[in-house]
Amino acid sequence: MSRLVTRAPAKINLTLHVLGRRAGDGYHELESLVVFTGSGDTLSLEPGPELGLAVSGPTAGPAGPLDDNLVIRAARHLARLRPGLAQGSFHLVKRLPVAAGIGGGSSDAAAALRLLARLNGIASDDPDLIAAARATGADVPVCLDPRARMMRGAGEAIGPALALAPMPAILINPGVPVETAPVFRALGLSVGQRLGGDPHPEIPPHAALDVLVRALVPARNDLEAPARHLAPVIDAALGALRRETGCQLARMSGSGATVFGLFGDRRQAARAARRLKAAHPDWWVTSALLR
């Protein structure tokens, strides 16, 4: 079989409510509306006898040791569940920032599982594929089929795909990696403790963009405050977005430090992205269509 290729888009948490820490396993229980960009990293698989990985691209340097990469971890988890699994050599073109709150590594891992499923004739809803995704990381299952949906629990409860209006947006990463674990620790929740707060708003399906944005405004990202304390530059990125004409909502994604701004149309977002790039050449700034 010839080389297989797929994209690994950025995952954006439009909302992220932390409900508390579960008494049984101590994991933080979440409720999050997740959407995806149209572009991101690219992963290819050349079938062959040996499992391997090469990484290139603008953000390849911070991607970490190859043997610990989530692409390799995902492939090994699936191979343990499927003895005799056909594999090969992966090539990852890394464009998304690392430790950025946009699920770059998780999306790469999910892309690896999709390619291995195609190579081996494994159905997209096969229990082994889903189990390998869960074993690899909490955000990997929602990235297997990168479409808008609710994610609950510790990432294991994935809702059906949602037909949301495409959302013109700007993504900014101010160049500071933020590790997830310290942000959750900064919440200070003990096992069994509930965080409280207003319930997650209902997300209207098939709604126009303005209706969707109004529904999102009362929601929140409960990790934003602790992440801003750990990385104050997040405040600067949010402030820059909110000062741009046409920005309807600015919020942090995941555990940071990437922030997003939703705009009324794509031209507004593109113009604002050009201004922000010029004003902050050391930031990663891109316009995107979220869906």
Q: What does the alpha-carbon distance between residue 9 and residue 65 come to, in Å, rounded to a whole number?
A: 21
Structure tokens at 194: 């509930």
**Contact between residue 148 and residue 35 where contact means Cβ atoms under 8 Å apart:** yes
Kindly provide the b/e burial profile for residues 150-174, where b requires at least 16 CB atoms within 10 angstroms of the residue's own CB.
Answer: bbbebbeebeeebebbebbbbbbbb
Owner of token pair 């499992």: 51
Structure tokens at 126: 């096969």
Residues designated as active site? 11, 139
Structure tokens at 208: 């126009």
Largest CA distance in the chain: 56
Residue 269, C-beta contacts closer than 8 angstroms, at least 6 positions apart: 168, 169, 170, 246, 261, 263, 287, 288
Q: What does the alpha-carbon distance between residue 87 and residue 52 come to, in Å, rounded to a whole number?
A: 9
On the CB side of 243, CA atoms within 13 Å amount to 9
Structure tokens at 140: 């990997």
**Contact between residue 122 and residue 129 where contact means Cβ atoms under 8 Å apart:** yes
Calculate the CA dihedral of residues 90, 95, 100, 101 and round it to 10 degrees: -70
